[in-house]
Structure 1
Amino acid sequence: MLRVEDLTAGYGRSRVLHGVSLEVPGEAVTAVLGHNGAGKSTLLRAALGLIGAGSGRVWFEDEDVTRLPAHQRVRRGMAYVPQGQQSFPQLTALENLRLVADGRRDGRAALEEALDLFPALRSLGARRAGLLSGGQRQQLAIARALITRPRLLLLDEPTEGIQPSVVAEIQRTVIGLSERGLSVLLVEQHVGFALRAARRYCVLEAGRITSSGIGEPGAEERVRQALRV
């Protein structure tokens, strides 16, 4: 689904990624773990085209999209949920969703499907997004991305600042998305959550992948050793 080959990227003269290579298979979750500043969010932004690649290649469904702008990658089936439960705070939850759904041929059906995944949002539809809890805003952000019917979801730190009960719900949703045929590239610091959700993982440190493997028994200990936690 997504293949990154020897990718370097950064901001201005500051290089953050140094020759990163990874693959995200179809209908599966791949987790990228690492400490703050390791380059995880930069990797997602480079994969989507929000920042340019200094060198290397980004392939999406066997098409070289390295030089395509972000909006064209979105049209091809990528969606991005950035860190921080972002929303339009003065709009209601339902208005936030309709901003994406309106104008789409299948917008109404896609909105209903997103609400089916997050039924709590139905009862919160008339509430301003700025008054929702962090967990509710995270669900809203994911639901909004899913209305575009992506084939690849780039998900950045979905559990940051979220209460444990909602973390479990988001985990179930992420796993359910892969079971529905969606690929997910998940950036996460919560090791347990990431390895329960993901089939594959890699550890990013100072812009380089230092460890990778399959989410199997014993993987959490290896990841914690790689992260030195």
Structure 2
Amino acid sequence: MLRLRNLTCGYGRSAVVHGVDLEVGADEVTAVMGHNGAGKTTLLRAVVGLVPVMSGTIEFDGEAINRKPANRRVRAGMAYVPQGQQCFAHLTAGENLRLVADGRKSGRALVDAQLDRFPALRGLLSRQAGLLSGGQRQQLAIARALITEPRLLILDEPTEGIQPNVVAEIEGAIVDLAKGGLSVLLVEQHLGFALQAASRFTVLRSGRVASQGEAGSGAVERVREAMAI
């Protein structure tokens, strides 16, 4: 679904990510881990078209997309949920969802499907999104992204700063999405969850790959060693 080959990207003339190879297969989760400043968010932003590629290739569903703008990548089937529980704070939760669903075929059904996925949102539809808790806003942000019916969901720290009971709900939803046929590129600090959800992992350190492999037996130790935890 997604393939990065020798990807170098950054801001202006300053490269942040250096020569990264990475793959997300169809219907699987790939987790990207590393300490703050390792280049994880820059990598995701390059994939979705918000950071320019300096060298290397990004392929989505077999097509090189280095030159495609972000809106065309979204139309091709990408959805990006950035770090920080972002939403339209002055709109209600329901308006946030309808804003994405309006104009889509079966838009009401798409909204209802996400309310079934995140049932806590049903009682919050008339509340201003800016007044929701961090966990509620994160569920809202993921629900909005899923209304676009993506083939690749890109998540940046979806459980950061979230109360523990909501973390479990978000983690469960991501695992279910992967089982349901959606590809996911996930940046996550919680190693246990990331390696439980993922089929493969990449650890970045100073913008370079420090470790990479399948998220099976021994993966936690490899990740800890690469991150020097």
User: For this structure pair, what is the TM-score category when the shorter chain's length is used for normalisation?
Assistant: over 0.9
Q: Where does structure 1 lack aligned partners over 5 or more consecutive residues?
A: none
Q: SS where residue 159 of structure 1 aligns?
A: coil
What is the distance in 1 between the residues matched to 2:15 and 2:66?
A: 17
Aligned pairs (5 A) from 1:17-36? 17-36=17-36
Residue 187 of structure 1 is matched in structure 2 by 187
Q: For 1:208, give the aligned amino acid.
A: R
Q: For 2:118, give the aligned amino acid.
A: F
When the two structures are aligned, how many residues end up with a matched partner?
229
Q: For 2:19, give the aligned amino acid.
A: G
Q: SS where residue 202 of structure 1 aligns?
A: strand
TM-score between the two structures when normalised by the length of structure 2: 0.98
* Residue 96 of structure 1, CA deviation: 0.5
Report which stretch shifted further, 201-210 or 214-223.
214-223
Residue 75 of structure 2 is matched in structure 1 by 75
Q: For 2:141, give the aligned amino acid.
A: A
Residue 176 of structure 1 is matched in structure 2 by 176
Q: 1:165 to 1:217 in 2, by over 3 A?
A: farther
Residue 129 of structure 2 is matched in structure 1 by 129
What is the distance in 2 between the residues matched to 1:21 and 1:220?
A: 20
TM-score between the two structures when normalised by the length of structure 1: 0.98
Provide the alpha-carbon RMSD of the alignment: 0.8
* Residue 146 of structure 1, CA deviation: 0.2
Q: SS where residue 68 of structure 1 aligns?
A: coil
Q: For 1:34, give the aligned amino acid.
A: G
Give me the identity figure in percent: 66
Q: For 1:116, give the aligned amino acid.
A: D
Residue 118 of structure 2 is matched in structure 1 by 118
* Residue 63 of structure 1, CA deviation: 0.8
* Residue 172 of structure 1, CA deviation: 0.7
Q: SS where residue 177 of structure 1 aligns?
A: helix
Residue 85 of structure 2 is matched in structure 1 by 85
Q: For 2:156, give the aligned amino acid.
A: D
* Residue 106 of structure 1, CA deviation: 2.5
Q: Deviations along 1:102-143, whole A, 9 cap, x unmatched?
A: 111231111111111101101111111111111110000000
What is the distance in 2 between the residues matched to 1:167 and 1:196?
A: 14
What is the distance in 1 between the residues matched to 2:166 and 2:198?
A: 18
Q: Where does structure 2 lack aligned partners over 5 or more consecutive residues?
A: none
